[in-house]
Copies of this chain bind each other. A is one copy, B any other.
Amino acid sequence: MAKATNAKTAKTTKPTILITNDDGITSPGIKALVESVKDLGTVVVVAPDKPQSGMGHAITIGHPLRLTKMNIFEGVEAWQCSGTPVDCVKLAVDKVLHGKPDICLSGINHGPNHSINVIYSGTMSAALEAAIESIPSIGFSLLDYSIEADFTGAQHYARLLVKQILGKKIDKHLCLNVNIPQSPLELLKGLKVCRQAYAKYEEAFTERDDPHGKKYYWLTGEFVNFDKGRDTDVWALKNNYVSVVPVQFDLTHYQLKDKLERSLKTK
């Protein structure tokens, strides 16, 4: 009984911060994120046991999942999960935290997740899954794929944002897609709230023959930005701002809905 009361008191004073990612629990990016917000609440990590980049909003239906406790971040409860980033969030809420955290953070991703990347990104799908569950969430991505990337700027802005979101309770479904330029902290111009740029990848699969003479294909592609707006995440990042795009999970295209209602033969 006393224990329950303590837990409740602790909850009101110290927020619970769930952290996940898609590069896997051993990536430098998640460590940088843990370090940057560790003192702002009780941090619990539930992250994939292997890289899960490009997994989008995949969930694991056809086979079961494993959770393994890890001693990997000093003073922080951490679990590795055999599933996708979205599985991690679902399992964390149901089987690790036995309830909702105050905020869910995902990242810091090694590589960009601006513009159309939000659709393919495991980092952002984990954050969006939390938002669906009424847990405010932020996904962080650094524009640097290197294992030796400098996360100083990303850490500074992660901390600045988390403090504000925890204090403000802006929206229970809040989900932010935050990208940080690959620049020293002193050159970053600050946070900039943006819209998602209309950009896409121009695919060009690389075709090869295997030793048995059969073809196989590697996905490659060139990123092309069609959007010249100065209010987009791509513009902000080019101009050394940290881009912040609020993301929604209502995918209804309302303008097209009106148009279709007027024009579609229904029978």
On A, residues with C-beta under 8 Å from B are: 51, 53-62, 64-67, 86-87, 90-91, 93-95, 116, 118-120, 125, 128, 132-133, 160, 164, 168, 170-171, 174-175, 177, 190-196, 198, 200, 203-205, 207-208, 214-219, 244-254, 256-257, 259-261, 263-267
Contacts and interface: CB of A to CB of B under 8 A. Distances in A.
Contact of A170 (B90, B252, B259): B259
Given A250-B196, A265-B164, A60 B91 contact: no
Contacts of A193: 257, 260-261, 264
Contacts of A168: 263
B195 A257 contact: yes
21 contacts: A53-B61, A55-B58, A56-B57, A56-B125, A57-B57, A57-B120, A58-B58, A58-B120, A65-B205, A65-B216, A94-B205, A164-B265, A168-B263, A170-B256, A170-B263, A191-B264, A191-B266, A193-B264, A196-B251, A244-B264, A245-B252
Nearest to A125: B56
Contacts of A57: 56-57, 119-120, 125
Nearest to A55: B58
A120 B86 CA distance: 10
A108 to B, nearest CB: 19
A256 B191 contact: no
A120 B195 contact: no
A170 B216 contact: no
A195 B254 contact: yes
Nearest to A216: B64
A160 B265 contact: yes
A63 to B, nearest CB: 9
B51 A62 contact: yes
A125 B200 CA distance: 15
B248 A217 contact: no
A65 to B, nearest CB: 5
Contacts of A91: 205, 217
A65 B190 contact: no
B256 A174 contact: yes
A216 B67 CA distance: 7
Contacts of A53: 61-62
